């Protein structure tokens, strides 16, 4: 007698792997290129890992004192403290006044999962979330699954080819009182002092709760303090906030998924209450966070010599990124590619917009086998000495081809 399965009505889910990467892998062209990897790449086209990480990983593997016992739900205290000091600086008000803390999470997605669960439970009067970044973020799905109403906005102005700080101000002005602002890459937006003052005043008057995303501190400008300087604005103005601090990309340990949900409260008493609730949620979600990545990072951050070596490796990566961007811009100029390409070097970080139209992106993918996201935001560390000429020549072709197509269409329209 056959038994009906309880899973009979469960359909096969669509693969999580992006369609662009799937198409790239199926492409038989020997010269194909993928410019949308999430990880930072080396000049040889391999995932970048800070050199100091290799040494520490070996030391940890050979350490006979480690018993690999379960750690507290909150995570390793030394790791959390070192991460907070990295984020704010040792002498920040948050550290000195002991009103900042954190919970070790499973990557940045774990931090958003934990933060969203807390806000769902303890801010029931406002279930509206605005996600504001330079790109479409996956965090929206986490908040949507928990029943929040989610609105998404991008800093990137595809018409002016720049990150527009006025967009942030206009969203704040139209947002409802008590909502949540999930903000990524705000440091790249370059607000003026008057814009900062206006933004802060609006956030305060509407009691908007900030939830920051710090995915790769140090890889944006090469300066760890500069990349998070904007947090001091909020600290000095007495804001309470959450912050997702991911530490996988800037150490090059992508497979470890090391993250922290950082909490800043008005005082230590409030902080302890929030952390106690977060630990209850963490206990239900994963019970104990993974430790290998946290041990590697703690060993580096707590040793001045190793930390100095790590900082130097970050600086070298950031300088190389800017050099690549300068070379791309210069090669496009020498090719006589129409338009200004200054926007490429005006953007910080591994991922930046090329400023191409959807038709130009389609040309690169279909005609030149260069796989670029539809929005034209690529990982510039994927460009190196071996492929830069082909990439820039292909961009030039794409621009010229679309211009010819547009001119032809204009002629045809005038004849009708």
Instruction: State yes or no: pLDDT of 407 exceeds 80.
Output: no
250 and 381 both lie in a single domain: no
Domain closes at, from 256, 279, 302 = 302
How far is Cα 242 from Cα 142, in angstroms, rounded to an integer?
15
With respect to residue 54, please indicate whether it lies within any of the assigned structural domains.
no
With respect to residue 9, please indicate whether it lies within any of the assigned structural domains.
no
Interval 77-128: pLDDT, tens: 999 999 999 999 999 999 999 999 999 999 889 999 999 999 999 988 889 9
Q: Got the DSSP string for 207-271?
A: TPEEEEEESSTTTTTS-HHHHTTHHHHHHHTT--EEEEEE-STTTT-GGG-EEEEEEE-SSHHHH
Among 38-47, 98-107, 362-371, 397-406, the range scoring the smallest mean pLDDT is 397-406
With respect to residue 2, please indicate whether it lies within any of the assigned structural domains.
no
200 and 233 both lie in a single domain: yes
Instruction: State yes or no: pLDDT of 408 exceeds 50.
Output: no
31 and 98 both lie in a single domain: no
* Domain tally, the chain: 2
207 and 108 both lie in a single domain: yes
With respect to residue 200, please indicate whether it lies within any of the assigned structural domains.
yes
322 and 291 both lie in a single domain: no
Can you tell me which residue has the tokens 């970080």? 349
Distant-in-sequence, close-in-space partners of 304: CB < 8 Å, separation ≥ 6: none
363 and 287 both lie in a single domain: no
With respect to residue 12, please indicate whether it lies within any of the assigned structural domains.
no
Nearest to 264 by CA among 413, 88, 403: 88
250 and 356 both lie in a single domain: no
Torsion of CA 186, 351, 244, 296, to 10 degrees: -140
Domain closes at, from 241, 269, 302 = 302
101 and 235 both lie in a single domain: yes
85 and 209 both lie in a single domain: yes
353 is written with which tokens? 């917009």
Measured in degrees and rounded to the nearest 5, phi and psi for residue 127 equal: -120, 35
How far is Cα 185 from Cα 187, in angstroms, rounded to an integer?
5
Nearest to 142 by CA among 251, 74, 242: 242
**Domain with 376 in it: what CATH number?**
3.90.1150.10
**Domain with 85 in it: what CATH number?**
3.40.640.10
- Beta-strand relationship, 241-246 and 209-214: parallel
Tell me the average pLDDT across 220-224: 91
Domain limits for position 247: 71-302
Do residues 36 and 20 touch, judged by C-beta distance below 8 A? yes
pLDDT at position 124: 83
In the structure, what pLDDT confidence band is assigned to residue 411 with cuts at 50, 70 and 90?
very low
Q: Is the pTM of this model over 0.85?
A: yes
In the structure, what pLDDT confidence band is assigned to residue 403 with cuts at 50, 70 and 90?
confident
145 and 241 both lie in a single domain: yes
301 is written with which tokens? 């951050």
With respect to residue 312, please indicate whether it lies within any of the assigned structural domains.
no
Nearest to 347 by CA among 135, 89, 35, 44: 135
211 and 340 both lie in a single domain: no
In the structure, what pLDDT confidence band is assigned to residue 228 with cuts at 50, 70 and 90?
very high
227 and 275 both lie in a single domain: yes
Do residues 331 and 234 touch, judged by C-beta distance below 8 A? no
With respect to residue 243, please indicate whether it lies within any of the assigned structural domains.
yes
Beta strands in 267-339 (DSSP E): none
Domain closes at, from 259, 278, 302 = 302
With respect to residue 14, please indicate whether it lies within any of the assigned structural domains.
no
Count the Cβ atoms, other than its own, within 10 Å of residue 40: 26
Interval 334-368: pLDDT, tens: 999 999 999 999 999 999 999 999 999 999 999 99
């Amino acid at each position: 007698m056959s038994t009906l399965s309880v899973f009979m009505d469960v359909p096969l889910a669509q693969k999580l792997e992006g369609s662009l990467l799937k198409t790239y892998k199926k492409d038989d062209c020997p010269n194909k290129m993928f410019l949308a990897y999430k990880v930072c790449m080396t000049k040889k086209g391999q995932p970048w890992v800070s050199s100091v990480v290799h040494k520490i990983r070996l030391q940890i593997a050979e350490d006979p004192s480690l018993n690999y016992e379960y750690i507290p739900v909150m995570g390793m205290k030394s790791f959390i403290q070192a991460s907070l000091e990295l984020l704010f600086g040792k002498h920040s008000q948050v550290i000195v006044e002991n009103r900042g803390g954190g919970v070790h999470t499973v990557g940045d997605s774990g931090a958003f999962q934990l933060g969203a669960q807390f806000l769902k439970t303890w801010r029931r009067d406002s279930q509206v979330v605005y996600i504001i970044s330079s790109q479409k973020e996956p965090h929206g799905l986490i908040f949507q699954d928990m029943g929040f109403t989610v609105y998404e906005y991008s800093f990137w102005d595809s018409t002016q080819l720049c990150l527009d700080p006025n967009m942030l101000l206009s969203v704040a002005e139209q947002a409802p009182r008590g909502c949540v602002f999930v903000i990524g890459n705000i440091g790249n937006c370059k607000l003026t002092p008057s814009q900062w003052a206006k933004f802060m005043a609006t956030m305060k008057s509407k009691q908007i709760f900030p939830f920051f995303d710090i995915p790769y501190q140090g890889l944006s400008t090469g300066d760890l303090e500069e990349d998070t300087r904007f947090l001091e604005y909020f600290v000095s103005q007495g804001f309470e906030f959450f912050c997702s601090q991911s530490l996988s990309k800037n150490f090059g340990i992508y497979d470890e998924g090391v993250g922290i949900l950082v909490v800043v409260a008005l005082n230590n008493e409030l902080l302890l209450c929030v952390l106690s609730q977060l630990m209850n949620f963490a206990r239900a979600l994963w019970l104990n966070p993974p430790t290998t990545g946290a041990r590697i990072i703690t060993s580096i951050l707590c040793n001045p010599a190793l930390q100095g070596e790590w900082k130097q490796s970050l600086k070298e990566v950031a300088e190389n990124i800017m050099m690549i961007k300068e070379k791309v811009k210069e090669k496009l100029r020498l090719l006589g590619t129409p338009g200004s390409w200054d926007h490429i070097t005006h953007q910080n970080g591994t991922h930046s917009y090329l400023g191409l139209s959807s038709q130009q992106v389609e040309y690169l993918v279909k005609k030149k086998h260069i796989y670029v996201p539809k929005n034209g935001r690529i990982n510039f560390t994927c460009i190196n000495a071996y492929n830069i000429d082909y990439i820039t020549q292909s961009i030039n072709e794409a621009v010229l081809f679309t211009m010819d197509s547009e001119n032809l269409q204009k002629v045809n329209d005038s004849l009708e």
